[in-house]
Amino acid sequence: MKSNPLLGLLLCGAAMLAAATARSANASATDTTPVPAVITPSPLPAHWQHGAFMEIFVRAWRDSNGDGIGDLRGLTLSLDYLQELGIRGIWLMPITKNADGDHGYATTDFRDVAPEYGTLADFDELIAQAHRRGIGVVMDYVINHAAATHPMFQSAIGGPGQPFHDWFVWSDTAPPGWEIWGQYPWYHTASKPWLYRGALKQLPAPPPDARGFYFGTFGPHMPDFNFANPAVVAYHHDSLRFWLNRGLDGYRLDAVPHLLETDAVEWNDQPQSRVLTKQLQDLIKGYPQRYVVCEATAKPQDYGDPAVCGGAFAFGQVHHYVQAALGQPESVQKVATFYLQASPTMATFVSNHDIFAGRRLWDQVGGDVKRYKLAAAGYLLQPGTPFVYYGEEVGQAGVGTLPGDLPLRAPLSWTPDARTGGFTQGTPFRAVAPNVATHNVQMQRQDPGSILHFYKAMIGLRNTLPSIARGSYEAAFAQGLVAGWQRRLDGEHTVTLINYGKMPATVTVHALPARAHLHSAWPQRAAARRADRQGRLRITLPPQQLRVLVVRGATMAR
Ligand SMILES: [Ca+2]
Ligand SMILES: [Ca+2]
């Protein structure tokens, strides 16, 4: 075949461009340049972090360019929707470059945006536009491990003396006695796990005389960093500052109890991991108005403590919000009493992106809208920071035909379109929710009785009554299937009562100011009430209804 000189030139140019792009990608992924803090004032209102957050899987939120994959520009274009809902914060699931091409927890570059999500410029624009609407943005930082394809690990497997070798955890021989969640966590590099995406259980066995095992808490595709190496700690501190300097409002820190392991027995939640976590919190909060929440599944309340992470998801407690709505009296009790002892820095939710935390709320309550609303009210009206999982606000169902976590991670249902759900002009990367025809943003916006309007109302109470967002938590009680509590802040005093039962229930609220007037904040048109001279209010609640009352102060005794 005769060569075409012009084509040759074009190919040569393309190859040079590709090489330059690859170089810059590699340079970024292995760039360990220190990042000094650049501290500027936060544009967010005080206490923004006690407003409701939306957990957003960018891949599934909104596609702006028709490639079927959600992206940062799609999110920026829909910030008005979040503002209208009253959302004060966004948690972005990982947006950094990654090896998995889906959830993003296998990082290949800690300082760049996944190309399918956009660019650093798109990130900057998202932050600017969110701030303009009083919305803060925090993002996942996956600190414990890298992807096995991360250039740092690919260098490290070259052996001792290679760049980044001592950034990971190695053993000459296979250490005995280890088991993490039913798996042996040491892997031999000869098994090349990066070649076995999706079939990790079929890794070849290492040769009998193999030497050179690495450690991976979450599997062979995600090797743990060596946090005993100060260079590793410094690198992550610099990477955290990289995003904070751009205006990021904080982090959701992934799997922090797994930072450092002691031995085959003492591998989970070691004291050194807590020390490292506190350092991360201090670094982040060295910037004004920043927020940190940790994923610590075993002992979340310990990590919620200001002496450790200063915020943590309330795993273990959170399913009681749903079980109460399903009519379980023990869970009604747990809803009422949790915040009598838990730190008001805990983060609550009713479902997230992980199936171990539960199915989508729609599926947990079997599509019962009354129960759905009660589950939502429980956590949206309590202390801490509530996290709505994207799509939850419209009653989006899980895609039951998909395996593992995937049923939870479908495109957001924007419209009733059966093929795209209005999420993309192209072909969505994953099937849309099975109830897209009825439970989508467009239709729920038009229906005043919808789940969306209910979420907006509950979040609105949190935004307009400061005691609900961050007041004291007192006089809590559970009686049968009714839970009640009172909140106070700066002279504001509110009472929340939820009847989870299918029968009317009459309860007596105690500890109110004598003869206090109580007007109804929810339902808005319900009659005002008055406490007796002992500060008691006897009140009958309709089935599966809640009331939020605001104390208007005691009248003078006669
Ligand atoms: Ca896209
Ligand atoms: Ca670790």
Which pair of tokens denotes residue 219?
């599997």
- Residue 220 CA to its chain's centroid (Å): 25
Give CA–CA dist 292/269, Å, rounded. 18
Enumerate long-range contacts of 42-45, CB under 8 Å, 24 or more apart. 42/249, 42/287, 42/288, 42/289, 42/290, 43/131, 44/131, 44/134, 44/136, 44/249, 44/289, 45/134
Residues in Cβ contact with 2 at an 8 Å cutoff, skipping those fewer than 6 apart: none
pLDDT value at 302 more than 70: yes
pLDDT in tens, 495-525: 999 999 999 999 999 999 999 999 999 999 9
> What distance in angstroms lies between residue 364's CA and the mean position of ligand 2's atoms?
33
Segment 62-106, tens digit of pLDDT: 999 999 999 999 999 999 999 999 999 999 999 999 998 899 999
Sign of CA dihedral 300, 305, 306, 311: positive
- In whole angstroms, give the CA distance from residue 320 to residue 300: 15
User: What residues have a C-beta under 5 A from ligand 1, the ion?
Assistant: 63, 65, 67, 69, 71
Ligand nearest to the CA of 268: 2
- Tell me, in angstroms, the distance from the centre of ligand 2 to residue 269's CA: 10
What local confidence, expressed as pLDDT, does residue 17 receive?
Answer: 39
Rounded to an integer, what distance in angstroms lies between the CA atom of residue 67 and that of residue 289? 36
> Cα(264)–Cα(435) distance, rounded to whole angstroms?
46
CB 136 within 8 A of CB 147: no
Lookup result for tokens 């340049």 = 33
Kindly identify the ligand whose nearest atom is closest to the C-alpha of 215.
2
pLDDT digits (tens, 9 = 90+) for 116-127: 999 999 999 999
- Cα 16 to ligand 1 centre (Å): 26
Give, as one character, the DSSP assignment of residue 17.
Answer: H
Pairing of the two strands 136-141 and 250-253: parallel
Mean of the pLDDT values across residues 447-468? Answer: 98
User: Within a 10 A sphere around the Cβ of 13, how many other Cβ atoms?
Assistant: 10
- Please name which ligand lies nearest the alpha carbon of 427: 1
Percent of the chain predicted with pLDDT > 70: 93
Alpha-helical segments (H) within 30-92: 58-61, 72-77, 79-85
Note the pLDDT tens digit of each residue in 407-427.
999 999 999 999 999 999 999
How far is Cα of residue 314 from the mean position of the Cα atoms in its chain?
A: 12
Q: State how far the alpha carbon of 183 is from the alpha carbons of 122, 169, 213, 217, in Å.
A: 40, 17, 15, 9
**Which helix (H) or strand (E) is 364 found in, with range?**
helix 361-364
The predicted pLDDT at position 387 comes to 98
Average pLDDT value for residue range 367-389: 98
Position 204 scores a pLDDT of 73
What's the CA-to-centroid distance between 453 and ligand 1, angstroms? 28
The pLDDT value recorded for residue 247 is: 98
Give just the sign of the alpha carbon dihedral 228, 234, 240, 242: negative
Closest CA to 276 of 225, 242, 314, 313: 225
In terms of residues, how long is the chain?
Answer: 558
Ramachandran region, residue 163 (left: φ > 0; alpha: ψ -120 to 50; beta: rest): beta
Residue 2: band (very low, low, confident or very high) from pLDDT cuts 50, 70, 90: very low
Q: How confident is the model at residue 201 (pLDDT cuts 50, 70, 90)?
A: low
How many Å lie between the centroid of ligand 2 and the Cα of residue 218? 9
Task: Return the HEC string of 121-145.
Answer: HHHHHHHHHHHHCCCEEEEEECCCE
CA 463 to centroid of ligand 1, rounded, Å: 32
What per-residue confidence (pLDDT) applies to 553? Answer: 64
Question: 484-495 as b/e, with b when 16 or more CB fall inside 10 Å?
Answer: bbbbeeeeebbb
**Number of other residues whose CB lies within 10 A of the CB of residue 109:** 23
Give ∠ CA 520-521-526 in degrees, rounded to 5.
Answer: 40
Cα separations in angstroms, 262 against 186, 196, 517: 14, 29, 59
pLDDT at residue 207 in the model:
75
The pLDDT assigned to 211 comes to: 78
Mean pLDDT computed over 298-306: 96
The whole-angstrom separation of Cα 201 and Cα 204 is 9
% residues pLDDT > 90 (the chain): 89
105, amino acid identity: Y
CB neighbourhood size of 142 (10 A)? 24
Instruction: Please determine, for residue 196, whether its predicted confidence score (pLDDT) is greater than 70.
Output: no
Phi, psi of 476 (to 5 degrees): -75, 140
Query: CA dihedral in degrees (186, 281, 468, 43; nearest 10)?
Result: -120
Average pLDDT in the chain:
93
CA of 121 to the centre of ligand 1 (A): 15
Residue 72 CA, ligand 1 centroid: distance in Å: 8
Q: Annotate 157-191 with three-state secondary structure.
A: CCCCCCCCHHHECEECCCCCCCCECCECCEEEHHH
Instruction: Note the pLDDT of residue 292.
Output: 98
| pLDDT for residue 198 is more than 70 | no
The tokens of 168 are what?
Answer: 């990971």
Residue 203's pLDDT is: 73
Average pLDDT over residues 371-376: 98
Ramachandran angles phi, psi of 304, nearest 5°: -70, -20
Tell me the average pLDDT across 29-44.
96
Distance CA 192, CA 187 (A): 9
**Is the bond leading into 41 cis (omega within 30 degrees of zero)?**
no
pLDDT single digits (tens) 227-272:
999 999 999 999 999 999 999 999 999 999 999 999 999 999 999 9
pLDDT in tens, 526-546: 999 999 999 999 999 999 999
Query: CA-CA distance, 386 to 376, in Å (whole number)?
Result: 10
Going from the Cα of 404 to the center of ligand 1, the distance in angstroms, rounded, reads: 24
Tell me the mean pLDDT in the region 185-197: 82
Give the pLDDT score at 318. Answer: 93
Instruction: Please tell me the distance between residue 434's alpha carbon and the centre of ligand 1 in angstroms.
Output: 22
Please provide the DSSP assignment of 419-460 as one string: TTTTS-SS--SSPPPTTTTTSSHHHHHH-TTSHHHHHHHHHH
Whole-number pLDDT of residue 3: 38
Q: Which residue has better confidence, 462 or 1?
A: 462
